[in-house]
């Protein structure tokens, strides 16, 4: 029997990356991600691999870009304000088609915000970060064990499609300790045929994102979009729990999904048939699976540690096939399972036959369904 | 007619006075007439060629008119975000200890948006050779003021001339970097005339040798012309470079620690290709 060890998420992600053959790490201290950087500061030099504490997140992501351009397997990590600075580099990495894994251990915002856990960077992670028409695959583990699994997967996706990939966690995932089986997956070394190695015995290679002629840039954009469609087709991930008989589904990812799971168990004890739909890839979003599920449901409740971000993708996915309610907390506050159960009760009162007690999320005067203001 | 009488014309062996360095591509450049970038490109191609470094060089292009250096220098090249070339080069350096790493930046790129990256790469003593082409303006975006613009100099964003009270003072980046112990070598050359160009080449060569010896960070600033950005003819721009620019940014070796600095260990780690 394998001995389980106690690790926090930051350390587990770092070890998973090391096992996956990460050649270089670049970062800048920020809570709640600093343990990851500190772990790498000790481990990478031990292994003869590269570690640099950069002068800023702009520096860190640019170093990562340089290392990735030579074909190295690169990890960077930060938390929300740092990701805003890394947005510049992410756009260049996407434009230059360079693989990289970026970990965002989210904290509350906007601005300096707080150092408490949050999911308020969903928009930033899934809809952009930097400028330009591009997408970045985003993987959201909801346990430390899953983070250990998803880090090598993130490297595989990054290298298969030549794209940066984001692993999206939050402060709880980063800093809480959990017993895990230290089964870390290793990956074969990569030696891409586009890497900058010095033009010995071959024509020079250029890693670039600049294409001044409109025709050239459009062709490049077409190629990028074709790649994004391929990623959507092959890399959409989600998990389903208790959905076969569910009348109401909670949709939640990461830490929110763990709260949802506890709420689901309590709701089921109280006689409510509730299931959990948990997106694992936030982009590509598992829209088709959710759309197919929606007609079977009385309502969908989206739970987030935010004022409501993923809920927009859920609404787009279900296209009105089921009413979508939302419950969220912000600023580092985490919804309690009981709050979620209360929101579920309301969800069961949506679309009742005439004469039955019912709940209309549009007009709920108390806004009780949602700490952040009812149906948004 | 034979050469038995009159001036001797055909007896000396032909002497080669010009050859395109192998690392310089055949295309003509997109630079404006009188621009200094082409001269610096040629010097880079000559020096790397003479040192046999072409096959192991990974160069980083900053953002400015010379971002297209990769179209003219036959080297592996990585494009950096505006100002970040020294950080990009750091990333390359740390995973490719076998590579020769070169950056090429303008003064807007290095002395404004990229000050943090250049200062810290220099402070870490990264084994990088940095080429810094100082033409006193933002050429690519239309000749706006750069941190290096001279006091009194008219640019498209200082139409009445640069005023210290409004726009601050010119930034002597190379002298500032020379204070850092990680900087093994810092020099400033010029493209003003063949003599100066010859000296600049010697500085560049030294800055490459410094990296090869593992002695630390090396930078060569080259004061250069941007006739279009300066609103001058190429001829006038040469006079301005000689009379006005060189006074504020005098050419010469700014620091040479290669005799006192112990040879740093090569950075650890290798890329996945080994
Ligand atoms: C983040 C960002 N800001 C601004 C620009 C626009 N821009 C392109 S080149 C440049 C300045 C280039 O000046 P310099 O480095 O002096 O090079 P030169 O063109 O004079 O050789 C600027 C501001 C940009 N590309 N990216
Ligand atoms: S604008 Fe200035 S720096 Fe740019 S190519 Fe023309 S002369 Fe050279």
State the average pLDDT over residues A181-208: 95
Per-residue model confidence (pLDDT) at position B5: 55
B110 CA → ligand 1 middle, Å: 10
Structural domain includes residue A371: no
- Asked whether the beta carbons of residue A68 and residue B119 sit closer than 8 angstroms, the reply is no
Inter-helix orientation angle A337-347/A254-269, to 10°: 60
- List pocket residues of ligand 2, CB cut-off 6 Å: B 31-32, 35, 37, 65, 135, 139-140, 226-229
Is residue A43 over pLDDT 50? yes
A108 and A244 co-located in one domain: no
B3 CA → ligand 2 middle, Å: 48
Token look-up 């001995």 returns A3
Residue percentage of chain A with pLDDT more than 90: 85
Beta-bridge partner residues of B100: B57
State the average pLDDT over residues A95-106: 97
A185 and A121 co-located in one domain: yes
Nearest residue of chain A to residue B69 (CA atoms): A206
pTM strictly above 0.90? yes
Distance of alpha carbon B230 from the chain centroid: 19
Q: Which atom of ligand 2 is nearest to the CA of B224?
A: 3
A221 and A337 co-located in one domain: no
Strand, helix or coil for residue B26: coil
Structural domain includes residue A343: yes
Q: Which atom of ligand 2 is nearest to the CA of B37?
A: 8
Beta-bridge partner residues of A26: A52, A76
Task: Tell me the residues of chain A between 262 and 291 that have a Cβ less than 8 Å away from chain B.
Answer: none
A250 and A164 co-located in one domain: no
A96 and A21 co-located in one domain: yes
- Alpha-carbon distances of A262 from A176, A265, A270, A336, A342, rounded to whole Å: 17, 5, 13, 9, 13
The domain containing residue B192 runs over which residues? 37-161+170-256
Q: Which residues contact A354 (CB under 8 A, 6 or more apart)?
A: none
A220 and A129 co-located in one domain: yes
Per-residue model confidence (pLDDT) at position B265: 45
Structural domain includes residue A202: no
Q: Which residues contact A330 (CB under 8 A, 6 or more apart)?
A: A108, A118, A120, A305, A306, A307, A372
- The total number of structural domains in chain A stands at 2
| pLDDT profile of chain B (274 residues), mean per 10 | 54 85 94 97 98 98 97 98 98 98 98 98 98 98 98 98 98 98 98 98 98 98 98 98 98 92 45 35
Phi/psi of residue A225, each to 5°?
-65, -40
A166 and A256 co-located in one domain: no
Closest CA to B78 of B104, B98, B59, B57: B59
Per-residue model confidence (pLDDT) at position A355: 75
Structural domain includes residue A359: no
- The total number of structural domains in chain B stands at 1
Closest CA to B200 of B52, B70, B89, B39: B39
A331: domain CATH number is 3.40.50.920
B142: domain CATH number is 3.40.50.970
Q: ipTM of this model?
A: 0.93
Per-residue model confidence (pLDDT) at position A362: 62
CA-nearest residue for atom 1, ligand 1, is B82
Is residue A227 over pLDDT 90? yes
Per-residue tokens: B272 = 């996945």
- Asked whether the beta carbons of residue B91 and residue A64 sit closer than 8 angstroms, the reply is yes
Per-residue model confidence (pLDDT) at position A133: 95
**Residue A337 C-alpha, separation from nearest chain B C-alpha, in angstroms:** 45
| Alpha helices in chain B, H assignment, sequence order | 37-50, 69-72, 85-95, 107-108, 115-123, 164-167, 173-178, 194-212, 227-230, 234-240, 246-248
Structural domain includes residue B31: no
Per-residue model confidence (pLDDT) at position A368: 40
Phi/psi of residue A86, each to 5°?
-75, -10
State the average pLDDT over residues A155-172: 96
Structural domain includes residue B137: yes
Nearest residue of chain B to residue A88 (CA atoms): B81
Structural domain includes residue A352: no
Nearest residue of chain A to residue B91 (CA atoms): A63
Strand-by-strand arrangement of the B76-79 sheet: A206-207, B76-79, B57-61, B100-106, B129-134, B217-223, B183-190, B252-256
- Asked whether the beta carbons of residue A62 and residue B77 sit closer than 8 angstroms, the reply is no
- Asked whether the beta carbons of residue A88 and residue B81 sit closer than 8 angstroms, the reply is yes
Structural domain includes residue B263: no
- Asked whether the beta carbons of residue A66 and residue B60 sit closer than 8 angstroms, the reply is yes
Do the strands A238-241 and A274-279 form a parallel or antiparallel pair, or are they unpaired? antiparallel
A215: domain CATH number is 3.40.50.970
Is residue B242 classed exposed, middle or buried when 0-12, 13-18 and 19+ CB atoms within 10 A define those classes?
A: middle
Flag the least confident range among A16-30, A247-261, B168-182, B260-274. Answer: B260-274
The domain containing residue A11 runs over which residues? 5-197+207-234
Per-residue model confidence (pLDDT) at position A3: 83
- Alpha-carbon distances of B176 from A61, B183, B219, B250, B261, rounded to whole Å: 25, 10, 12, 14, 18
Nearest to B88 among A44, A45, A66 (CB): A66
Question: Each residue of A57-93: pLDDT tens digit?
Answer: 999 999 999 999 999 999 999 999 999 999 999 999 9
B27 CA → ligand 1 middle, Å: 24
> Before A158, cis peptide (omega within 30)?
no
Per-residue tokens: A343 = 């929101």
Nearest to B116 among A44, A55, A68 (CB): A55
Q: Residue A343's pLDDT band (boundaries 50, 70, 90)?
A: very high
Structural domain includes residue A281: yes
CA-nearest residue for atom 6, ligand 2, is B32
Per-residue model confidence (pLDDT) at position B45: 98
Task: Tell me the residues of chain A between 8 and 37 that have a Cβ less than 8 Å away from chain B.
Answer: 21, 23-24, 26
Mean pLDDT (chain A, rounded)? 93
CA-nearest residue for atom 22, ligand 1, is B141
Per-residue model confidence (pLDDT) at position A348: 94
- Asked whether the beta carbons of residue A66 and residue B100 sit closer than 8 angstroms, the reply is no
State the average pLDDT over residues A263-286: 98
Structural domain includes residue B12: no
Structural domain includes residue B16: no
Is residue A366 over pLDDT 50? no
Sign of CA dihedral B189, B194, B199, B203: positive
- Alpha-carbon distances of B52 from A173, B44, B55, B72, B191, rounded to whole Å: 51, 12, 7, 18, 24
User: Which residues in chain B are closer than 8 Å to A210, comparing Cβ atoms?
Assistant: 67, 79
Instruction: Tell me whether A5 touches chain B (CB under 8 Å).
Output: no
Nearest to B74 among A67, A72, A204 (CB): A204
A257 and A214 co-located in one domain: no
Structural domain includes residue B265: no
Per-residue model confidence (pLDDT) at position B273: 35
Per-residue model confidence (pLDDT) at position B1: 42
How many beta-carbon contacts under 8 Å exist across A and B?
Answer: 166
A50 and A65 co-located in one domain: yes
Indicate if ligand 1 lies below 6 Å from the C-beta of B146: yes
Flag the least confident range among A123-132, A253-262, B154-163. Answer: A123-132
**Residue B243 C-alpha, separation from nearest chain A C-alpha, in angstroms:** 36
Distance of alpha carbon B235 from the chain centroid: 21
CA-nearest residue for atom 2, ligand 2, is B226
Q: Which atom of ligand 1 is nearest to the CA of B109?
A: 15
- Asked whether the beta carbons of residue B90 and residue A66 sit closer than 8 angstroms, the reply is yes
Per-residue model confidence (pLDDT) at position A351: 74
A230 and A258 co-located in one domain: no
Per-residue tokens: B265 = 């260990």
Q: Which residues contact A148 (CB under 8 A, 6 or more apart)?
A: A12, A13, A15, A16, A180, A183, A184
The helix (run of H) or strand (run of E) holding residue A256 is helix A254-269
Nearest to B89 among A24, A66, A205 (CB): A66
A146 and A97 co-located in one domain: yes
Q: Please state, in angstroms and rounded to a whole number, the distance separating the CA atoms of residues A130 and A127.
A: 9
A123 and A32 co-located in one domain: yes
Structural domain includes residue B111: yes
Indicate if ligand 1 lies below 6 Å from the C-beta of B88: no
- Asked whether the beta carbons of residue B58 and residue A198 sit closer than 8 angstroms, the reply is yes
Nearest to B92 among A21, A69, A203 (CB): A69
Structural domain includes residue A370: no
Structural domain includes residue B3: no
């Amino acid at each position: 029997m394998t001995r389980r060890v106690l690790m926090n998420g930051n350390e587990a992600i770092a070890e998973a990356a090391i096992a996956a053959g990460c050649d270089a790490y670049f970062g800048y201290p920020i809570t709640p991600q600093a343990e990851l950087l500190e772990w790498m500061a000790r481990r990478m030099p031990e292994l003869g691999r590269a570690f640099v504490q950069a002068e800023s997140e702009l520096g860190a992501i640019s170093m990562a870009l340089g290392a990735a351009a030579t074909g190295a397997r690169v990890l960077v990590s930060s938390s929300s304000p740092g990701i805003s600075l890394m947005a510049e580099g992410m756009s260049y990495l996407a434009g230059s088609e360079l693989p990289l894994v970026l970990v965002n251990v989210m904290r509350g915002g906007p601005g300096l915000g707080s150092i408490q856990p949050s999911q308020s960077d969903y928009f930033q992670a899934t809809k952009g970060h930097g400028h330009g028409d591009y997408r970045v695959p985003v993987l959201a583990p909801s346990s430390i064990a899953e983070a250990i699994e998803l880090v090598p997967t993130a490297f595989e996706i990054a290298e298969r499609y030549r794209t940066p990939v984001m692993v999206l966690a939050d402060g709880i995932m980063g800093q809480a300790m959990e017993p895990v089986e230290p089964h870390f997956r290793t990956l074969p070394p990569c030696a891409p045929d586009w890497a900058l190695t010095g033009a010995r015995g071959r024509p020079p290679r250029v890693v670039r994102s600049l294409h001044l002629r409109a025709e050239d840039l459009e062709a490049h954009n077409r190629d990028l979009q074709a790649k994004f469609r391929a990623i959507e087709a092959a890399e959409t991930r989600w998990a389903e729990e208790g959905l076969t008989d569910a009348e109401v589904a909670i949709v939640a990812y990461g830490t929110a999904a763990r709260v949802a799971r506890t709420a689901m168990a309590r709701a089921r004890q109280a006689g409510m048939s509730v299931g959990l739909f948990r997106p694992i890839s936030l982009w590509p979003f598992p829209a088709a699976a959710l759309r197919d599920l929606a007609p079977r449901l009385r309502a969908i409740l989206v739970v987030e540690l935010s004022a409501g971000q993923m809920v927009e993708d859920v609404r787009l996915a279900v296209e009105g096939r089921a009413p979508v309610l939302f419950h969220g907390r912000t600023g580092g506050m985490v919804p309690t399972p009981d709050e979620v159960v209360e929101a579920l009760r309301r969800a069961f009162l949506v679309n009742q036959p005439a004469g039955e007690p019912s709940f209309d999320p549009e007009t709920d005067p108390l806004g009780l369904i949602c700490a952040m203001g009812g149906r948004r | 007619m034979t050469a038995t009488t009159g001036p001797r014309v055909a007896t000396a062996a032909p002497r080669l006075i010009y050859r395109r360095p192998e690392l310089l591509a055949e295309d003509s450049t997109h630079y404006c007439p009188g621009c200094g970038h082409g001269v610096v490109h040629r010097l880079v191609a000559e020096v790397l060629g003479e040192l046999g470094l072409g096959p192991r060089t990974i160069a980083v292009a900053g953002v400015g008119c010379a971002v297209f250096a990769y179209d003219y220098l036959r080297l592996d090249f990585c494009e950096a975000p505006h100002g970040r070339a020294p950080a990009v080069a750091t990333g390359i350096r740390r995973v490719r200890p076998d590579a020769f790493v070169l950056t090429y930046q303008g003064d807007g790129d290095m002395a404004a948006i990229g000050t943090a990256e250049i200062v810290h790469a220099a402070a870490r003593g990264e084994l990088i050779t940095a080429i810094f082409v100082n033409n006193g303006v933002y050429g690519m975006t239309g000749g706006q003021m750069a941190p290096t613009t001279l006091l009194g100099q008219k640019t498209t964003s200082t139409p009445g001339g640069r005023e210290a009270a409004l726009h601050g003072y010119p930034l002597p980046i190379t002298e500032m970097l020379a204070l850092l112990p990680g900087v093994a070598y810092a020099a400033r050359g010029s493209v003003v005339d063949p003599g100066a160009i010859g000296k600049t080449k010697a500085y560049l060569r030294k800055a490459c040798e410094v990296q090869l010896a593992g002695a630390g960070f090396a930078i060569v600033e080259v004061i250069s012309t941007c006739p279009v950005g300066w609103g001058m003819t190429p001829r006038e721009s040469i006079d301005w470079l000689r009379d006005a620019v060189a006074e504020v940014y005098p050419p010469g070796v700014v620091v040479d620690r290669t005799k006192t600095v112990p040879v740093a260990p090569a950075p650890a780690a290798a890329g996945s290709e080994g």
